[in-house]
Amino acid sequence: MKRSPMLPIFLIVLVDVLGLTIILPLLPFYSESLGATPFVVGMIVAVYGLCQFIAGPILGQMSDKVGRKKILVFSQIGTCIGFIILAFSNSLFWIFLARIIDGLTAGNISVAQAYISDVTTPENRTKAFGMLGSAFSLGFIIGPALSGLLAKYGPHYPIMLAAFLSFISIMATLTILPNTEILASSEPRNKFAAKNIHKYLNTKEVAPLLLQFFAFIFSFSFFMSGFAMFCGEKFFFEGKHFGAEQVGWIFTFIGCLSLIVQLGLLKRLSDFMGEKKLIFCGFIAMSLGYFFVGEISTLPFLLAALVLNTFGSSVLRPSITSQITKNVPRHQQGAILGVTQSLQSFSQIVAPLIGGYLIGTGHLSAWAWTASFIAFLGIVLMFFQNRTVKNPALTP
């Protein structure tokens, strides 16, 4: 019996996400301990996004040409090296260098998505991307909790754990992940990856979906890149501002919610409502959740607002990604997912800078409301899409 590749790719993505989520609640406080302001923290996140923006389409297209597994290993090695440098950083220069290296090799997730597209049929793709989403959710449960537990002993310990997990992911990819068929395109390959972005944004079948993905990922990046600093400024525990430990547990709460949605609700909701209506509901939940975060001042209400926006983000990522991959030929899966990676990277360049500025100048509510407005634009884009196509599947 042929072994299913879904379990290996799930385990590999889980280990990758664990490493990333261990860093997520820690990096802002670690950077601030070395003299970074909130805006500089935003720059640290942005430089990673800039490098990922440059490298994402190139890595996606290379995976179409040389195979997913080789590019995945290359990306994982870069992540591991970045974590090791980060662990021993004693100045902001080394933190920036670590994030640059990680960003330039950051093709892990987009290549994993392309791998899933290779080995699944269109009708099963939403479920498969939901499984990938559950790996994210598990990572958000375990990773931030480990970060919070270890951070009390020093910031180097959780980062070294992230590096070790990255090394395990490399070994798992090399040993248990099957190779996929290299899908040669009958069309000429674009010499420059930027041409892919221009090409797909001028393709009527996928351009509206890419814009919706951009609205989702920009609002998500805006919120996630500033959330730790937001909590550190607004909330207190035992008379002290929130730190990595408290923020880590909140991220764990978010991960638990997301896992419930990915494993318990996503497939049922997708079958019952259809992907397009589910995307619409996801944007509504995200927008409302972010808006309420800007209004609250106590932890219980914060957690209630996070239930809304976590539901929205948990259904949006797999649903929009599935819609995008269904509208391009199979041999272009790596290229189109490289474009989505570039849109995500662009979001990670601009969003942290704006968010860091707003938080650094004390505009905490405006920071959350900005994320809410951007998510609301996703709804507007859906209405605009429905007016430009015949027989729209969504009638809100």
**pLDDT tens-place string over residues 172-187:** 888 888 776 655 443 4
Average pLDDT score over residue span 55-61:
77
- Asked if the model's pLDDT at residue 189 lies above 50, the reply is no
Confidence band of 282 (pLDDT split at 50, 70, 90)? very high
- Collapsing DSSP states into helix, strand and coil, what is residue 137? helix
At residue 15, the pLDDT reads: 77
The structure tokens listed for 379 are 């709804």
Of 28-32, 203-207, 261-265, which one has max mean pLDDT? 28-32
Give the bridge partners for 240, in sequence order: 237
Give the bridge partners for 67, in sequence order: none
Q: What is the DSSP string of 316-364?
A: HHHHHHHHHHHTS-GGGHHHHHHHHHHHHHHHHHHHHHHHHHHHHTT-H
Overall CATH class of domain 7-175+192-388? mainly alpha
**pLDDT single digits (tens) 213-250:** 999 999 999 999 899 999 988 888 877 888 888 888 89
At residue 190, the pLDDT reads: 39
Confidence band of 98 (pLDDT split at 50, 70, 90)? very high
At residue 55, the pLDDT reads: 80
* CB of 303 closer than 8 Å to CB of 253: yes
**pLDDT single digits (tens) 322-341:** 888 888 877 777 678 778 87
What does pLDDT average to over the chain? 82
Give the bridge partners for 236, in sequence order: 241
At residue 149, the pLDDT reads: 86
Q: What is the share, in percent, of the chain residues with pLDDT greater than 90? A: 26
Question: Residue length, the chain?
Answer: 396
* CB of 67 closer than 8 Å to CB of 128: no
Extents of the domains making up the chain: 7-175+192-388
Average pLDDT score over residue span 114-140:
75
The structure tokens listed for 234 are 């607004």
At residue 232, the pLDDT reads: 87
- Collapsing DSSP states into helix, strand and coil, what is residue 274? coil
Average pLDDT score over residue span 182-200:
53
The model's pTM is: 0.76
* CB of 364 closer than 8 Å to CB of 242: no
| Helix residue spans in the chain (DSSP H) | 6-23, 27-33, 38-66, 68-87, 92-104, 108-119, 125-151, 156-176, 194-201, 207-234, 244-260, 266-273, 275-295, 299-326, 333-360, 364-388
Confidence band of 369 (pLDDT split at 50, 70, 90)? very high
From the number of C-beta atoms within 10 Å of its C-beta (0-12, 13-18, 19+), residue 186 rates as exposed
What is the C-alpha separation between 363 and 151, in angstroms, rounded?
A: 28
The structure tokens listed for 44 are 């640290």
**pLDDT single digits (tens) 245-276:** 888 889 889 888 888 887 778 878 888 888 88
Longest dimension (CA), the chain: 64
